Structure 1
Amino acid sequence: MQSTPTPSTHRASFAIGNEQSAKRVIDVLTESFVEGQAAIAAFEGAGGHWHISVHFAEAPDQASVRELVGVAAGDHITGDIAFDIVEARDWVKATLEQLVPVRAGRFIVHGRHDRAKVPPNKIGAEIEAALAFGTGHHGTTRGCLLLLDHVLKAYRPRRVLDLGTGTGVLAISAAKALRIKLLASDIDPLSVKVARENARLNGAGELVNAIRATGFSAPQFRTRRPFDLVLANILANPLRQMARPMARHLASSALVILSGLLPHQAQSVVAAYRARGLVLERHIQIEGWSSLLMRKAQ
């Protein structure tokens, strides 16, 4: 996959003195901007300081950005936020090259520059620079991969769905682990394009069928169901809303991995799916995000 230079973007950049505060800021900013509004990159520098940059397609409300950062990390940080304009270049690729590989059980999510570092006994998912959510460096993605690793130790699903696929990282990881064809969907056409390209890059292009769909509306869901494993790394509200249609598309004893939840949202999501006949099997928290493993009753 060859990436193309993006237009000039607006950038907010600042440094934070510790990892915990940096993660709080990233979580707050991630929750505050819808997909496509902003892209966030963070990496650890010398002395344990974290450097955060937020790229916006349009000029942001600087006061609002300062307020969000202040809520997460304290008002003493807000005065150090620098706003500027980045000239047209492939800045997404440049920021992703600063990220280190992420390990989650047997899975490793990495960039092109770390391709040679994947051990032969691990499953690598190489995620190229793209304006779509899901590099694997977010706590929700890692939580899903850890739960997927847990599931595959004792279970081999045959009909798999990645709902809200983003860059395709979960679909690619599942396809490479199982060597089966699976369905991946996203409401965003850019994400679908990126997922397809990333699947080809990872040698899973024939295995991952990425489609654009809202919820379960596309005919492919009816022809592929019943699913015995669903991966859905989205957000709490859409996950609650999709509990009923998802349950209708599940096989008996199907497993569902849900993420994109803040810890205080997990209970309401569990309740929505429990009302549709699913029970909670595992709940993990990583970097301030909850990931759930649920099973449909027989």
Structure 2
Amino acid sequence: MLEGLPPNNASHMLRLDCDEKRARAVADLIVETFEPTETAAAAFELDDGPRWSVEVYFASAPDEAQILALIEAAADAETARAARFSTVAEQDWVENALAGLAPVRAGRVLVHGAHDRGRRRPNDIGIEIEAALAFGTGHHGTTLGCLKALERIAKRRRPRRILDVGTGTGVLAIAAALLFHQRVACGDIDPVAVATASANARANGAGADVRPVVATGLRHTSLQGQYDLIFANILAKPLRLLAPQIADAATADAELVLSGLLARDVRGVLDAYRAQGFFLAERGDIDGWATLVLRRGGSSSAPSLSLPR
């Protein structure tokens, strides 16, 4: 799973094989140490046995000694010695990561590649997403958790003003636009992600309702206003920092869907939003990643859902 966000124009990478515990520890420490626009880490199980692999992608040539020291701190010296650095073509790492991925379903929403168009059922909302320079296809636990939250929200209400903060590939904005037949305001700090999301929206018949803009948080004229559904699938630190902006943009009856955070990050994020008057209504966990649904007022006796893939 990807533990972080993809850097712009990734040019270098690191790979090492180890056990699951060390792989997760290394990926976690890398993500915590570097800015998400500069470095991303992916930890995943290998097909041929119990071993795991860690891949780290860098926007520029890394300080190899610093990275090896971090790996040794997170795991041990033997794991650090197994690390191998290399250069990478701009799109190779995403294409390799997404190659052969199966369709992902969340209720009526089916996220798939071109080769799986035939798997759509009648009345499905099919979203076709191919390899691109921004991650977020529904296969990662955070995106899937948000899609499942969207499915549950759709059963109880019809949001009329929707915002997607940190849109990535645009899959959440596209799903919301197609499900609710509403325009979805969305932005991302990464111009490559914005271009990718725009292309994906047009390809999926949502180009008129999903028009991403380059923005830091909500700082863009097209994102100003009040929203009754706000998605933010980013990382724990920006979620905390953006709490005042997101709260200001939320209507009195708004629901927030927050993800991009590991289980250990939940308390800090919740504290930031409780300070803005929100409480935890629902929590879902997939592959160690938490998705939170927040509302204003009330109490925090929220159900915790261990969501299936």
Counterpart AA for 1:9: S
Distance 1:7 1:263 in 2: 29
1:180 — aligned with what? 182
Q: Which residue of 2 aligns with 1:241?
A: 241
**Paired residues of 1:239 and 1:269 also in contact (CA < 8 A):** yes
The aligned counterpart of 2:211 is: 209
Kept in 2, the 8 Å contact 1:43–1:99? The answer is no
CA contact (8 A) 2:260 2:291 kept: yes
Amino acid at match of 1:34: E
Tell me the number of residue pairs that the alignment of Structure 1 and Structure 2 aligns.
Answer: 290
SS in 2 for 1:155: coil
CA distance in 2, matches of 1:185, 1:32: 25
Question: How has the CA–CA distance of structure 1 residues 48 and 122 changed in structure 2, closer, same or farther, with 3 Å as cutoff?
Answer: farther
What residue number does 2:38 align with? Answer: 37
Which of 176, 196, 199 is equivalent to 2:198? 196
Code of the aligned partner of 1:35? P
Is 1:262 aligned with 2:272? no
Aligned mates of 2:88, 2:132 — CA distance in 1:
17
Question: 1:73-108, CA deviations, whole angstroms, 9 ceiling, x for partnerless residues?
Answer: 554433222222345774532332143433444434
What displacement does 1:8 show? 8.7
Matching of residue 138 in structure 1 with residue 130 in structure 2 = no
Match of 1:101 among 81, 100, 103: 103
Partner of 2:114: 112
Match of 2:296 in 1: 296
How far did 1:196 drift? 0.5
The 3-state SS of whatever aligns with 2:212 is: strand
Which residues in structure 2 correspond to 1:12-161 (within 5 Å)? Answer: 12-18=14-20, 22-40=23-41, 42=44, 44-72=46-74, 74-86=76-88, 90-120=92-122, 122-161=124-163
Query: Is 2:187–2:218's contact at 8 Å kept on the other side of the alignment?
Result: no
Deviations 1:20-50 (A, max 9, x none): 6545544444444433424555464223444
- Identity, % of aligned positions: 44
How far does the alpha carbon of each residue in 1:184-203 deviate from its partner, in whole angstroms, 9 at most, with x for none? Answer: 11122222111111111222
**Offset at residue 72 of structure 1 (A):** 4.9
How far apart, CA to CA, are the structure 2 residues paired with 1:114 and 1:72? 39
Cα separation, 1, equivalents of 2:58 and 2:220: 32
Structure 2 gaps, min length 5: 1-7, 299-309
1:250 aligned partner, one-letter code: A
* Aligned match of 1:3: none
Q: Which amino acid aligns with 1:134?
A: G
Tell me the C-alpha RMSD between the 2 structures.
3.0
Give, as a single letter, the amino acid of the residue that structure 1 aligns with 2:38. Q
Equivalent residue letter for 2:198: R
Q: Is the 8 A contact 1:39 1:131 kept in 2?
A: no
Which segments of structure 1 move beyond 6 Å, counting only runs of 4 or more? none
The 1-side partners of 2:90 and 2:258 are apart by 37
Equivalent AA in structure 2 for residue 82 of structure 1: R
Partner residue in 1 for 2:250:
250
SS of the residue 2:211 aligns to: strand
Which residue number corresponds to residue 305 of structure 2? none
1:147 maps to amino acid: A
Instruction: Using structure 2 for the length normalisation, give the TM-score.
Output: 0.80
Letter matched to residue 254 of structure 2: A
Quick one: structure 1 residues 122 and 73, their matched pair in 2 at CA, closer, same or farther if it must change by over 3 Å?
Answer: farther
Q: CA deviation at 1:279?
A: 2.0
CA contact (8 A) 1:250 1:296 kept: no
Cα distance in 2 between the residues matched to 1:7 and 1:280:
37
Provide the secondary structure at the position in 2 that maps to 1:46: coil
Q: Counterpart in 1 of 2:306?
A: none
Determine if contact 2:10/2:60 at 8 Å carries over to the other structure: no
- How far apart in 2 are the matches of 1:67 and 1:43? 23
> Normalising by the residue count of structure 1, what TM-score does the alignment of the two structures yield?
0.82
* Equivalent position SS for 2:207: coil
How far off its partner does 1:293 sit? 0.5
Distance 2:10 2:162 in 1: 39
Matched residue, 1:228: 228
Alpha carbons of 1:66 and 1:282: their partners in 2 closer, same or farther (altered >3 Å)?
A: same
